[in-house]
Amino acid sequence: MESRIVMGIDPGLAHTGWGIVNQTGLRLSCEAYGCIVTTAAQPLSSRLNKIYEQIGAVINHYRPACVGIETIWFGNNVTSAFATGQARGAALVACAQGKIQVGEYTPSAIKMAVVGTGSADKHQVQYMVAQILGLATEPQPDHAADALAAAICYTTHEGVCTPVTPISMKGPIS
């Protein structure tokens, strides 16, 4: 039975969670997870560069076939959503550099994939990620658990990864 490595990313400017899941058939196991932390004291460009470089380092180390990433949730705080969007962009560029197929999922779709309801709270997601991946303890911090959940969501939504084919464009788009 063939296996593949699936990466999950929970983007955020202060905390970007990442997780690596090994899928063999229907069996999922956790390879690694972590969280990239930046502080408001750092210049924005340095924070985004750190996210880009560290996601790139994870990609280079684990060589995932595909990535599941959380989309932006606006809610009531547009400023926070904008910062998350910038962090998400840095992570997506790292994925593009690694030529990795990316699946994008809403927070509620990710929660639905792991908990069975799109309105699950953080603790429910952490608990179910640990159960699905056979972990002895719940992944910490919650950003890393959310990233593992994004990887799990990819496995339930995308099926088989296909290589990314570069697009060649000539002239303006009409």
| 10 annotated to a ligand binding site | yes
Strand 66-70 with 3-10, pairing:
parallel
pLDDT at 24 over 70: yes
- φ/ψ (deg, to 5) at 11: -75, 145
Q: With bands split at pLDDT 50, 70 and 90, how would you rate the model's confidence at 162?
A: very low
| 123 annotated to a ligand binding site | no
Q: pLDDT tens across 63-118, in order?
A: 999 999 999 876 666 777 889 999 999 999 999 999 999 999 999 999 999 999 99
pLDDT at 159 over 70: no
Q: Which CATH architecture has domain 3-158?
A: 2-Layer Sandwich (3.30)
Q: Report if pTM > 0.85.
A: yes
Of 15, 142, 143, 146, the active-site residue reads: 143
Of 15, 31, 61, 70, the active-site residue reads: 70
Of 10, 15, 142, 146, the active-site residue reads: 10
| 53 annotated to a ligand binding site | no
- d(CA 143, CA 149) in angstroms, rounded, equals 10
- d(CA 35, CA 9) in angstroms, rounded, equals 10
String of DSSP letters for 22-79: EEETTEEEEEEEEEEE--TTS-HHHHHHHHHHHHHHHHHHH--SEEEEEPP--TT-HH
Annotation marks residue 121 as catalytic:
no
